[in-house]
Amino acid sequence: MLTTASHTHRSVATRPARPAVRTVVRPTRSRIVPPTLGLADGPSAAVFRAAAVRGPLYRDEATRASGASVATVNRHVTAMLAAGLLRERPDLAVSGAIGRPRIPFEVDHEPYLAVGIHIGAQVTGIMAADLRGRILGAAEIPTPRGESSTALTAVTASARRFAARWQRRRLLWVGVALGGRVDADTGVADHDRLGWTGARVGDIVGAGFGVPVSVAAHVEAMAASELLFTPHRSGAAAARGSALYVYARETVGLAVTIDGRVHAPTAGPGSVAHLPTGADVRCDCGATGCLEAVVGDRGVLRAAQRAGVLPAGDALPPIAVLHTAARSGSTAAQQILVDRAQALGRAVAMLRDLFNPDRVTLGGQAFTGYPEAAPHVAQALSRASRIGGADVKVTGFGNLVQEHAAAAVALSALYADPQAAMRKATVRV
């Protein structure tokens, strides 16, 4: 059965307040830090993560959540209070309680900011988050075309203008998520759809902001966001076993999680773009029936043009236009979206049977943008799968999966080792 996970922190404030003090970010040399995509084992990370997703909480609650000793938790809480990562909430102390340990604490999220950038094949999303992973605001721009350095410089300039809205928050980190093959150590990426080879993503974005930057493949980052920012995945015990994250929008992709860590192959993430579907749609690679050509936004919109639902032409409208036509009663539009849902369901069934994971999460607007088709995904998956038992859910982040992926990259170092990340973020070069 296909269900929708319920994540709690999804609000987007598009018009944050503009305080009087202006923070100017000047270009400098970059500091590239590889992201840690998954749940770190250390007690400091476990306490910080518990405070981020469950806080305010008491120290005995943090002890249970982290599995560390009372003394260890007290030591790390004290250190993170001193570092400005946590703050106490005496106003929430239990009446009659005596002593500091009965004063709850939470992440001190108000002074700080993380910026995430998701570079998509057609659209680039820019978001701002606090240290708990809550999205404070988001914006989209068309992904610049042409040479990678010029395009990345333009993206960085847009992101800096966007970040300037939060003038009283201190920017700590920038994260970039994008498709293709990413070298997390160097921040260099190859992106076939954009024509980028050896794109210096980390250097250009990091130099534009003057704070540490992390770069990751976007579907792996989406899988990490499910681990880091959802309460039911915040404990290591809850994340044991294997999970498969399947993404579909303009592109398609997958990521594998094992025991709370996203598997990141040395050669880069695998590709399911050319998984055969049996359809007669021709792909750019020259083959027929490749998955991305069938279920990606561009392929679906071309199908709508061929069916006369949308006007013919080289320029394609947003996929939301097709959704509107279907909701307005166009049976042809409805059938095209049903066909897409069924193709996705069969592909997910094939991947589930291949990997046999304990859990499957479906993310991306191909799954969430037109929820009326979700039952067709579930039905096609059930009919095509030869094994059962995996827990299959649509992400609770809805249409904000790209934003949360970028936030996961921007905050991953902090969630892996809060105090070390804070020291790196506060060093100016």
Residue 399's pLDDT band (cuts 50, 70, 90)? very high
Tell me the average pLDDT across 355-364. 94
Which pLDDT band holds residue 277 (cuts at 50, 70, 90)? Answer: very high
Task: Say if pTM beats, i.e. exceeds, 0.85.
Answer: yes
Mean pLDDT of the chain: 88
Quick one: pLDDT band at residue 32, thresholds 50, 70, 90? very high
pLDDT above 70: residue 29: no
pLDDT of 389 strictly over 80: no
Classify residue 192 as exposed, middle or buried by CB count within 10 Å of its CB (0-12, 13-18, 19+). middle
- Give the confidence band of 24 by pLDDT, cuts at 50, 70, 90: very low
For 87-110, write each residue's pLDDT tens digit.
999 888 876 555 555 889 999 999
pLDDT of 27 higher than 50: no
pLDDT tens digits along 363-388:
999 999 999 999 999 999 999 998 86
Question: Could you tell me the pLDDT band of residue 205, with boundaries at 50, 70 and 90?
Answer: very high
pLDDT band at 203 (very low <50, low <70, confident <90, very high): very high
Mean pLDDT of the region 333-349? 97
Would you say residue 391 has pLDDT above 90? no
pLDDT at 64 over 60: yes
pLDDT tens digit sequence for 139-198 = 999 999 999 999 999 999 999 999 999 999 999 999 999 998 999 999 999 998 899 999
The pLDDT value given to residue 165: 96
